[in-house]
Amino acid sequence: MSSDLESPNRIFFAEVGPRDGLQNLPTDLSTEIKVELIAGLLDCGPELVEATSFVSPKWVPKLADAEQVMNRLVADRGEGVLDRLRVLVPNRRGLERALAARARRVIANIGATEAFNRRNLNCSQEETLAEIGLLSEQAKAAGCLLDVSISVAFGCPFEGRVDPQRVLELALEVSDLEVAEISVADTIGVADPRQVVELVELLTARLSLGLLSIHLHDTRAMGLANALAAYRAGIRRFEGSVGGIGGCPFAPRATGNVCSEDLLHLLTRVGAASPVHLGPLCRVAERLEQLLGQQLPGRLYRAGIWNPDQLN
């Protein structure tokens, strides 16, 4: 971990494993274990941990205990923990539940294609943009920050190739709603470094670089290459999932969030400054492997952090 957190190479990291990672796993974890996982991740130092989702339990039953998770975290760590937690909300009902649980930062989603948006949110892109506008007003009135993720920004399982201009149009419309951050997501893991650079350059020609985050999947073993390309193109906000767990339950074969510890190891090796402690993060991945009873996709937690000065 670099200590130079004021440098232009400073990155901001959101750990999404407790939400995006767990929602697609076959294993059910108890509320207590989820709280333990989130607490362990918070102790590693990321700016944000995406703790849960206030989606209907009918659609994502593994996160049906969202209120209990939030209440336990506040009880264990105090109100201040809320500044480092983010939760997913699909609509105003979800936001109302999140605000009742005292959430201070939420994230909503819109698909970059009409087909994916309808499959994921059961409404049109136009309807979702209108809903996000209402979410923005309601969140602002409650003193809550709103982020927005643009899913399938590089490729859609139902429509194929996604026009970068359409992603830009959506990002501009979303930015007009005074959101705190716009996350561009490679939801099904089809991007390549060239596409990443081209989209980042297109977006940053019209939007502030500080507004943009990137969410990558390693479905086709391109996640780290794409992260490096994004970093070199100027992106400083990244998302990842501990151990590389998870995926999207509404996109066929969309396994493999980019692994948090592998991603951060790569970026710090090329000069990025991060507040996240990699050793403890690897230990969280080791613990998660034990809890799930299976080897995780991540590599660093298994191989260890290379230190040539301490060879046996």
- What's the CA gap between 27 and 265, in Å, rounded? 28
- What's the CA gap between 43 and 84, in Å, rounded? 11
CB 17 within 8 A of CB 58: no
Provide DSSP, the chain: --S-TTSTTB-EEEE-IIIIIGGG-SS---HHHHHHHHHHHHHH--SEEEEEE-S-TTT-GGGTTHHHHHHHHHHHH-GGGGGGEEEE--SHHHHHHHHHTT-SEEEEEEESSHHHHHHHHSS-HHHHHHHHHHHHHHHHHTT-EEEEEEETSSEETTTEE--HHHHHHHHHHHHTTT-SEEEEE-TTS---HHHHHHHHHHHHTTS-GGGEEEE-B-TTS-HHHHHHHHHHTT--EEEEBGGG--B-TTSTT-B-BPBHHHHHHHHHHTT-B----HHHHHHHHHHHHHHHTS--S-SHHHH----GGG--
- C-alpha closest to that of 19 among 242, 173, 226: 242
Pairing of strands 212-215, 155-156: unpaired
| Residue numbers annotated as active site | 248
Given the structure tokens 């149009």, which residue do they identify?
169
